[in-house]
Chain A
Amino acid sequence: MATLTRTAPPSAAAAAYPPGHEPVHNFFHEPGPGPEVRGFARFRAVAWEWMTTVDHKRIGLMYLTAVSFFFALGGIMALLVRLELFTQGETIMGADAYNRVFTMHGIIMVFLFIIPSIPAALGNFLLPIMIGAKDVAFPRLNLMSWYLYLSACVIGMFSLTTLGVDTGWTFYTPYSKTTSTAVLAVGIAVFVAGFSSILTGLNFIVTIHKMRAPGMTWNRMPLFLWSIYATSIVQVLATPVIGITMLLLALERILQIGIFDPALGGDPVLFQHFFWFYSHPAVYIMILPGFGIISELMGTFSRQKVYGYRAIALSSVAIALLGFMVWGHHMFTSGQSPVSSVIFSMITFLIGIPSGIKIFNWIATMYKGSVWLRTPMLYALTFLFLFTIGGVTGIMVGAIAADIHLHDTYFVVAHFHYVMMGGTVMALLGGLHYWWPKMTGRLYNERLGQTSALLVFLGFNMTFFPQFIMGSQGMPRRYYDYPDMPWMEPLHQLSTIGSWFLASGLMCVLINGIWSLRKGKPAPGNPWGAATLEWTHASSPPDFHNFHRTPLVTHGPYDYEVLFSGDGLGGDGHRTPDVRVGVPQNEPSIEDGTRQPTKPTP
């Protein structure tokens, strides 16, 4: 109905757009109410349309908004935690408040931010476009996942802000059994969020298996999708275990059935096994999609085939499967049998190898390439450096003897922040800048983007590197105060000051995003010269149905030479939308003044 009543804006360039690809035709506006609907009625119609949408792009953007909100909220909690540790004794809050704040930081960051971040936000938006499909396999199920996630957020936020929880995000028994805080309600939130995660994973697996465009073979799939595929397998197989664990915890608290509480004849270490049987694979739910983004960025910004495509693709799957067999390395000092500690340590080292292979492959991708240091690439290189540190310190805590000393100290805190924040969040920020023009149709400010990358890099290292030293010197984690180690204070202060730099870097990203939405220049279809379908076959932002014709895929995701030798035709002989490198969609040059190539070079 809408297309009947709307016309393209009267601009000189508009004539160059193929019918149906005028900038106004995109998923933001379509289907949408006609222009005759005005005022509050229009607002209501648009709001209802977004709330009931089954479009993967809109659902992806809604996820993106939500996870950004929770990232900011969890980040504020982190700043409060760091500020409290700035001086000995009470700085800004008491011990009980501190325990609630660090627990809130952990729960928000793990369950409401990082697990849904890349798969549910970027994955939802990009997966169907990258394989040349119109939507995911089960669009309504996708909407249901979104609402499950939203309910988990509501339940979680309600209980975290009213009674609060002071168990740490790990809910270790018997403390979580005896504490009077809202463990039960937060357990329900985790349970519900788990279902959202399972349904999303299921949807993605089916979509990748059944909905690929003609010519999109497994070996032509972008590595981002390989990693999303591996992630989805873990989501579907591991998440039920956290659901069951939370259910057992609830049964124990309500019905006093002795499962984990020794006072009732239960076994507290059993809880740790259950918890980590999910939460270790969940670490790969968090990091694998980050690997996928880095593969895309390294290829596009080096304009070079990603080195060792198959090794990277298969190592993602290897990590996903091996990831199920290493949970016991969280429990070397928990009183589990020494024999199982040794076996878990062994498998933990094996899982380090595929991660190492990826790092080497990504670096090799730059070799003889054409490295373009835009913001997304700066974040990708930051990832490579920080994730390497996260990885080698993982080897340290994986060696049993060293872990005896390092377990549950700041060393572990620094290690997993290097992996989760230095890894996943850097990849997310890189991916966000990379796909921002595609998702919003606007360019961001490159200089502000580069400033943010620099601030984040410096702030991150200043915050977390001192924590390695504090940890190996003996500073235990989850400490409100350090009365027995007053000489730690300078290091704590360094770390806290670093957190302010980190926060200001992230603030730059936020400002950049808002600026871009309001004032950013319209984005060309393919500003980076990438070779995957979302750039070569879809406009920025994409049409309501992504493509007007199903793309015919004739080359791999990193065959950049095709862009230069191509005739602008899709594999099926139709002209693709004007998104070839060199034919900007609606700008002759992009904002930094670099002209894109205007004709194929020899």
Chain B
Amino acid sequence: MNERTSFWSEGASLWLPPQRSTTAHEIDAVFNFILYTSTILTLGVAAAIIYFAWKYRRRSPLDHPQVVHENKLLELSWVVLPTIMVLVVFFWGFRAYVGTSIPPTDAYEIRVRGQQWFWTFEYPNGSILQGEVYVPAGQPVVFRMTSRDVLHSFFVPEFRIKNDVIPNRSTNVWFEAPQEGTYQVLCTEYCGTAHSNMGAKIHVVGRDEFFAYLRDGFPDQQADLPLDQVGEQLYTSKGCNACHTLDGTPSVGPSWLGNWGRPRPGTAGSPVMDEAYVREAILAPNAHVVTGFQPQMPSYEGLLNDRQIDGIIAYIQELNGVEPTGGAPADSAMTGDSVIVPGGPTTPRATPPTAPAN
């Protein structure tokens, strides 16, 4: 996967990222046309300033220049020529906008949901992915987007697409990526604490591969990793880092460091933080809200599989210097289980929490 890792990556210019969608070149053409004419204009202005400032520099305080009378033709020229220029730019920008903003009717539709501070993607067959999405190459794809809380904006620089994501409203972006690769999604509408961590990855894969994934489940990139490393990766990829620190300081939520094995007084008694407690906190976070925090965390039911939850538990245990206890061994790789098909077997419930929610 040729994910961008350096400024001078393949296909990138000084000004623009690589073109990785079929419509990117239309937008780049407008950008480059304005860039070149602007550069010429700006250099012309700079040259005129320097030339005049030198040529007509004051040689003596007694300088007594002759009055220059206005030249109507000159003035008219610098009204009419810029007008023609900006009208050209307007129509070009307008045509490129129309050409790139209307999704083709045969586009493959994926529903996108933005919320503080992650993206989820739902396929027509009900599969849900979080923080990453697989799309087929050479096929127009339209993202129908909505937000669950505040405004977000869905931006993929390599595809030159962007649109705000608004609660109670559906907006869309579409693209057709001709070649395989991995691209970064960014949130460009300020949405609070972890705005800058609200990313996702778009994996463009071959058509056959894509439909195979859709049928059999998407690949689990973490299948070969030990549990605690699974948790460490999930900490950032699933947006846990937005609210939970690793250094013991409370943020939006409690820190992952320093509370293991201690009672956590809150809305549902004072359970001790153990494996079962963490599992419930992930799947039903608002059943027990620790004193001093708001019931703000969304449920990760359906977004994390069992092994991922075990990974997070193992990671927290490792952070707190506790010997990891349970979880499936790394070799029982459950490839494809990041997909949860509604109606299929539900996620096994956690062991009963010590203080069940009333």
Contact = CB atoms under 8 A, between A and B. Distances in A.
A305 B68 CA distance: 7
B152 to A, nearest CB: 10
A230 interface: no
Contact of A396 (B35, B57, B65, B164): B35
B160 interface: yes
Interface string A148-186: 000000000000000000111000101100110000000
Interface string B140-159: 00000000011101010110
B61 A268 contact: no
Nearest to A362: B49
A367 B67 CA distance: 10
Interface string B116-129: 00000000000000
A491 B15 CA distance: 13
B98 to A, nearest CB: 8
A409 B45 contact: no
Contacts of A262: 166-169
A450 to B, nearest CB: 14
Interface string B48-61: 11001100111101
Given A333-B162, A399-B92, A476-B186, A404 B35 contact: no
Contact of A333 (B27, B74, B163): B163
A369 B31 CA distance: 38
Enumerate the 3 nearest inter-chain pairs by beta-carbon distance, A residue then B residue, closest first.
A474-B157, A399-B93, A401-B96
Contacts of A398: 89-90, 93
B199 A596 contact: no
A369 B196 contact: no
A98 to B, nearest CB: 9
Chain A interface helix/strand/loop/mixed: helix
19 contacts: A172-B151, A179-B192, A303-B58, A304-B68, A305-B67, A307-B68, A333-B163, A334-B164, A345-B93, A392-B41, A399-B89, A400-B96, A402-B93, A409-B155, A469-B14, A474-B17, A564-B64, A595-B61, A601-B64
Contacts of A338: 97-98, 101
Contact of B87 (A178, A349, A407): A349
Max count, chain B CB within 10 A of own CB: residue among A359, A373, A393, A484: A484
B197 interface: yes
A404 B27 contact: yes
A372 B100 CA distance: 51
A371 B57 contact: yes
A330 to B, nearest CB: 12
Given A262-B166, A307-B68, A482-B196, A373 B49 contact: no
A405 B31 contact: yes
Contacts of A175: 150-151, 190-192
Interface of A: 94-96, 99, 166-168, 172, 174-175, 178-179, 262-263, 268-269, 302-305, 307-308, 311, 333-335, 338, 341-342, 345-346, 349-350, 352-353, 356-357, 359-361, 363-364, 366-373, 381, 384-385, 388-389, 392-393, 395-396, 398-409, 469, 472-474, 476-488, 490-491, 529, 561, 564, 594-597, 601
A409 B155 CA distance: 10
A561 B67 contact: yes
A135 B34 CA distance: 47
B354 interface: no
A384 B68 contact: no
Contacts of A172: 151, 189-190
Interface string B16-46: 1100000000110011001100100110011
Contacts of A483: 196-197, 199, 236
A473 B15 contact: yes
A482 B27 CA distance: 25
A349 B89 contact: yes
Contact of B63 (A303, A308, A406, A480): A303
A479 B90 contact: no
Interface stretch (B1-9, B211-219, B257-265): B1-9
B66 A335 contact: no
Contacts of B155: 408-409, 474, 476
Contact of A395 (B34, B79, B184): B34
Contacts of B199: 483-484
B118 to A, nearest CB: 13
A400 B93 contact: yes
B293 interface: no
A258 to B, nearest CB: 11
Given A338-B101, A381-B53, A401-B30, A392 B38 contact: yes
Interface in B79-115: 79, 82-83, 86-87, 89-90, 92-98, 100-101
Given A308-B75, A349-B90, 7 more contacts: A175-B192, A334-B166, A367-B56, A370-B65, A401-B27, A472-B16, A481-B196
Interface string B165-184: 01111010000000000001
Contacts of B45: 359, 363, 384-385, 388
A595 B100 CA distance: 65
Contact of A597 (B62, B79, B97, B157): B62
Contact of B153 (A333, A399, A529): A333
Contacts of A367: 52, 56, 68
Contacts of B244: none
B234 interface: no
